[in-house]
Structures are given as structure tokens and as C-alpha cells.
Amino acid sequence: MGSSPFVGITGGTSDKTHGSRWRVHDNGGGHSPTVHYLFVSFLLCSSVGVFYIFYLFNNPNLNYNNSLGCQEDNDGSWAIGAFYGDSPFSLKPIEDMNIWDNKSAAWPVANPILTCASVTNSGFPSNYVANPFLYAKDDFLYMFFENKNVITMQGDIGVARSNDNGVNWEQLGVVLDEDWHLSHPYVFNYNHQIYMMPQGSGTRDIRLYKSIEFPFKWKLEKIILERPLVNSVIIYHENMYWIFGSYQTRLTFGDLEIWYSKTPFGPWTPHMKNPFTGPRNGGRPFVYNGNLYRLGHSENIRVFKIEHLTTHHYIESEVDFKVEKSTKGINAWNGARSHHLDVHRLRTGEWVAVADGDRTHFGDVTSRHVVGCGLIITSGSIVLLTCWLLGFIKCFIPLTHIKKRNDSILNWERLKLRLRLNQTINPNTYIGKFILTVLLILSIVIACIGFGYMYGGNGSEKPYPVNNHFSQFTLLAMTYDARMWNLKMYVNHYSKCASVREILVVWNKGKPPNPSELESAVPVRIRVEEKNSLNNRFRVDPFIKTKAVLELDDDIMMNCDDLERGFKVWRENPTRLVGFYPRLVTAPPPLKYRPEKHARKHDGYNMVLTGAAFVDREFAFERYWSEEAELGRKMVDEVFNCEDVLMNFLYSNSTPGGHSVEYIKPAWAIDTSKFSGVAISGNTQAHYRVRSRCLEKFTELYGGITEWKVGFRRRKDGWDR
């Protein structure tokens, strides 16, 4: 036999060494196809992995670029929202109250009203905020909450202040910090003095802190109960103070316990019937219509009516309670769970509540990393297994000390021999090359999925705040009966976007569908038009509740993050058209309508198509239907085209001294009409000729737009590349 060089990957270099070993085999002195395959596999997998991680870390919706706060946390990504109602049992989220705030361009203000970002931006790095408690003093409403410290990775107690009943919150900072984790800052008044009873996970007791300088300074007043109760609250009921809390063992939370005393300082006596079966407290107990209610939680808030409470008996019964919860899943700030609620009655008689919420479940980060690691190992195993079957990497299992071969080993040896004899994956044949290529692509895809699990976040497409406030917009699509396939997919997809409040379907022709036929996470309203006209897209509609309207054709599909980025830019520039498809009209006449590549070639744009653009519904719709725009609307009806061009002219010539359009580049966009065969503009050249006529006519009517060129790559965030 000829000599063959061997390089051991693990183990010794001699065949006489006992134990299993791996070998890399190269037949002859040159490089075999298997060497090339291993090298190319390693190079491609490594390159794709590096570039994919780079892409993930530059995703604007992830927080890896923010070293101060809002990092991924295995405990969750908790935030706090506000709710209002005539009673604690009729609470609605703040966005349903239609409260507008001009300072933060929130029309309307939407939940959440407090996040890790708003706390971090005030100078106190935070991973999440949770367990809110309200306390009213003078003309202010204070909110105490758990703030997960990024540096110590334990909870501190933070506080915020509002002078408008919970719409806007001023961050006042961290007011209580101990060497152990703090949470659940229960604040109450006793004998005209303010006390706080936070939960301390490192003390296994209940401590009472006294306010020295409200709300900033607190000092330990007394350890009132040496008992590891969690989520504890104190209430005054029938001349007695009562502590409700759940006993904490080293591993789990036990049953509910009740203790009583004449004063909050003790001594405390355990209830005769301790322990009780019941969930942990989920907030401050409250009194409504003379009845006392206890809040509990599992994955969501539950309410229990306390029927009987004495030193000898305790009876509670669960009552119907439901805080409106989004069905948008991980795109909603409270889509996964909520475990705390605090209600407070305002001087007006209205009730305000604050609740925490999370878009993911506990342990999400760990589970994603475990799955990701498993997939990456699987990807590498495919490459190694292929090389092993090719004979490039050999694993010898010495049989010297085995009296009888195992049947499974013999079967596996026969399988390898059969694969080699039949040359099924011989790299020198076309079939072998095809199989190797498929295996390589499969390993790369699995590796990318693994990296996505590890570094791609939890998959949520979150909204972007402006001045620490969130808002919502209405999504408007114009369609007709032949495009129902597009519409169903459109509604199902976009209704899950975080900032979409309502989807308005402008029905131009044919029998309209029943809204129940459309699967949606938000309300869908169908407005049936009498005339099939493109002008209907901008018709004044008093039932639209938001200031922002996203005009989006029903055949355009893009991800929710693109919509959220566009909405943020519009809120920063509400007097502009903010869109995703730029166009450039250049002088001299005759003016020609050209595709996006013309704008790219000349590095600028002066139009954005309103088939995918944010508008101010008050300004845009009223101006479009003004007497000034009447001739333009007539031409739109004549050519059944150009309504978006007309809107650009109306915007441009009403914004003196500045540009009226803003472009945002989508990560991807798909025209679904290409699949359904119902595209309105089938003949591109004829479509462009009609639009060129519109440019000439609208320039004559409303003035030119060629001088208002805006360059690409102006934004620091790179969203207009």
C-alpha cells in the first residue's frame, strides 16, 4: 500500500494508541475535493455568520447599540401603561381616551407611558420598569416603581411625577437603593406620615421605610415582620391592619398568608387559618361601592372580592375583571403578560390605573440562546458528517477490547461502505456536487437561524418613541372586489404592527366584504364609495381618530419596523409627506415621470409616492378637497391616475422655504399584485406617459417642484440611504 499522511485532530498520532480518535485524511500529496469542500464550507459559514451578526447588531430595533440601558434581560422587557375609566372595572388604555399632546407629537398619546428608555434617558440606566404604585400629594400624582439597574442587575426604587393625571411623567430618579434587590414599592399614609414597604429579596423580612423628604429621601424605620413574604401589602379594615403576602421558599412562592395588628409597626399575629390557597398579590387592594377587593396575578391580573375578613375567618371569591389587552402578540408592550395593577380615584371621580406589561415570557433570552447554540452545533455537525462520509475525516473505534461487535456498529459501517461504493456523494460527479451544495446551503441556513435566535432579539417590531411618548396612526387602503386576496393578507399582516390603531378600507368597486371576513388584531372599518375614483383615497373622514394616516396600497407588503420608522420620522416632521418610494422631477420641460433609479442617479428626490406615505389627515385631506385643487381632481378622474402626484404638488407649494417630503428606505418591499395579476398599472410605459402629462398640468396649475430637491443620506440614523 502507498503511504498516506495523517493529521490527528484529537488524540495521539500513532495507530497503537487506544481509544477513539478523529483523523483528517488526504489521499496523495495534493488537495482532494474533500479538502476544498471543508475549506469552502468553513469559509462560507464563517463569512455568513459574521455578516449576519453584523446585520443583527445594526438592527435599529435592537438595543445592542445602547450601552446604557434597555439591554436584553431574562426577567423580561417590562414597561408601564396608563388606563382610565369610570370605575376600576371599566378601565381602558390611554389611547382610547383620545388625549393629544403637541409637545411630543403624540396624537393620540398611547401606551406604554413609562419604559426603560425614558428612565435611562433621564440619567438612570434601566433594563426594565415594573410594579408601579400611585400616590397623590398636593396637585401631583407620583408613581413609584421597580427599576432594574443595568450595572448591579438588581432592582432599585424609582419615582416619576405627573401634573396632568398620568399623561406626562417627569422622571425624578432612584430614591431607594440597597445592597439587595428591591421591588414592589408599596407606599401608604399612616398618621399623616408617608411610609414605603418594598419587597427585599435578600433580607427575608418585611421592612418599613419612612419618608424624610418626599419623595426623594427615605430611612429604615423598622423591621416589622421577620417572615419572607413577597408582594406584601398593608390595608386597614374594621379597626385592624392586615398584611397580605405569599410565603417565599428557597425555590418557589408558597400560599397566601394573612397577618394582623393594631398598628403597621406590629406586633403581628398570624391568621388562624394560614396558609390560604390563592395567587400572589398583583397590586394594592381597593374599595369600590363599599366592597374590598384584592388584586392577584398569575400571567395576568385577577380580582378577588373579600367576602369575609376576621381574625378567625377569611373568604374571597374571584370576580370578572378584564383590562383591555392587545392581540398583537410580541409587538404589543403587554402582549405576553401583566402581573401588577394599581388603581386610584381622581378628584374628578374618574379612576386612573397603572399596570406593568411584558411582550415576552420569563426565560426568553436563555431559551433563545439554547436553541441558537443547538442550531449552530447542528450546522457544524452537517459539515463534519459530510466530510466523515466522504472519508476525509475518519473516526476509528478500536475493537481490540470488544469481544463481539455491536450490530448497530456493523450496520453503520455497511451504510458508509454502500454510500462510498455507490458514489452517492462523490464530489467528482454532478449528483455528488449537487448533494454537497444542498448540504452546504442547509448548514448555512441553519447557522443563520441559530445566530438569529441568539442575537436577533425576540422577534418583536417595537414602536419608536418621540420625547418619551408613543402614539398611533390609522392605516388606509383603497381597493375593490378583484383584490380580496391582497386585502386579506394585507389586513392580517399590518394589523399586528404596534402603532396601528385602525385599518380603514376605502371600497371603490364591487360588493364590499364583511369586516368579519378579515382576520385582524385591530378594528377594521370599510367605507363604501359611490363613485370609483382615485380621489376617494384622500376624502375627508370625520371618523378617523388619529392625526397621522398611513396611505398604503393594498398590494405593498413590508415589515412593521419600516412602518414604525416612518411613523417616527413623520412625528418629528408632521408638516411633511413621509414616504417609502422617492421620485425626482427634473427641469427643463417637458417634464418626465421616471422611476426611482433616476432619483438615485441624481442623488436626490422631490416627490414621494402616496401609495406608501404618512400624511396629516387634517391638512392633507382638507387641502386636497379644497376649491384650489378642484381642477387637479378633475384630471385625476379623467386619466384615472396621478392622485399621488397631485398631493405632492399641493404639499410642495404650501411649504414655502423648505422641503415638503421625507424619504425612508424600507428594508424590503413586495408588490403582491404581481402574484395575483390584478395590478392597476399593467403597462409601465403608458403609465409613465400619463403621469408625465400630469406633471406638466399640475406645474401649470400649482407651480413647479423641480427646485425642491432633497438629497439622500441626510439623516444621521441612515434611514434614508
Q: What confidence category does residue 441 fall into, taking pLDDT thresholds of 50, 70 and 90?
A: confident
The three-class DSSP label of residue 496 is coil
Strands (E), 150-288: 155-162, 170-176, 182-190, 193-200, 206-213, 217-225, 229-236, 241-248, 253-261, 269-270, 280-281, 286-288
C-alpha neighbours within 13 Å on the C-beta side of residue 653: 18
Q: What is the mean pLDDT of residues 477-500?
A: 91
For residue 517, pLDDT over 70 is answered with: yes
- Confidence (pLDDT) at 202: 75
Q: Is 467 left (phi over 0), alpha (psi -120 to 50) or beta?
A: left
Q: What confidence category does residue 5 fall into, taking pLDDT thresholds of 50, 70 and 90?
A: very low
Residue 77 carries which side chain, given as an amino acid letter?
A: S
Q: What confidence category does residue 17 fall into, taking pLDDT thresholds of 50, 70 and 90?
A: very low
CA distance 535 to 248: 65
Residue positions annotated with a catalytic role: 644
Q: What confidence category does residue 405 fall into, taking pLDDT thresholds of 50, 70 and 90?
A: low
Mean pLDDT, all residues of the chain: 86
For residue 335, pLDDT over 60 is answered with: yes
- Confidence (pLDDT) at 433: 77
- Confidence (pLDDT) at 32: 55
- Confidence (pLDDT) at 227: 92
- Confidence (pLDDT) at 424: 55
Higher pLDDT, 605 or 673: 605
Per-residue pLDDT tens for 145-190? 999 999 999 999 999 999 999 999 999 999 999 999 999 999 999 9
User: Fold for domain 473-702?
Assistant: Spore Coat Polysaccharide Biosynthesis Protein SpsA; Chain A (3.90.550)
- Confidence (pLDDT) at 88: 96
For residue 131, pLDDT over 70 is answered with: yes
For residue 6, pLDDT over 90 is answered with: no
Q: What confidence category does residue 428 fall into, taking pLDDT thresholds of 50, 70 and 90?
A: confident
- Confidence (pLDDT) at 402: 46
Per-residue pLDDT tens for 186-205? 999 999 999 999 999 778 89
The mean-pLDDT minimum among 28-32, 318-322, 704-708 falls in 28-32
Q: What confidence category does residue 53 fall into, taking pLDDT thresholds of 50, 70 and 90?
A: low
For residue 551, pLDDT over 80 is answered with: yes
Write the CB contacts of 491 (distance below 8 Å, at least 6 apart in sequence). 503, 505, 518, 519, 520, 524
Strand-pairing partners, residue 106, are 101
Q: Options 1.10.10.10, 2.115.10.20, 3.30.420.40, 2.40.160.20; which CATH number does 79-362 get?
A: 2.115.10.20
For the chain, how many helices (H) and strands (E)?
A: 13, 35
CA distance 111 to 108: 10
For residue 14, pLDDT over 70 is answered with: no
CA distance 183 to 146: 5
First to last CA, the chain: 63
Query: Where is 416: in which H helix or E strand?
Result: helix 407-421
pTM of the shown model: 0.86
Write the CB contacts of 349 (distance below 8 Å, at least 6 apart in sequence). 86
* CB-based contact 604:584 (threshold 8 Å): yes
**Percent of the residues in the chain that have a pLDDT greater than 70, as a whole number:** 83
For residue 309, pLDDT over 90 is answered with: yes
Q: What is the mean pLDDT of residues 564-589?
A: 95
For residue 284, pLDDT over 70 is answered with: yes
* CB-based contact 649:702 (threshold 8 Å): yes
Per-residue pLDDT tens for 617-660? 999 999 999 999 999 999 999 999 999 999 999 999 887 666 89
Write the CB contacts of 675 (distance below 8 Å, at least 6 apart in sequence). none
Spans of all domains in the chain = 32-57+366-455, 79-362, 473-702
> Alpha helices of 104-235 — where are they, by DSSP H?
116-121
Write the CB contacts of 67 (distance below 8 Å, at least 6 apart in sequence). none
- Confidence (pLDDT) at 393: 54
- Confidence (pLDDT) at 19: 43
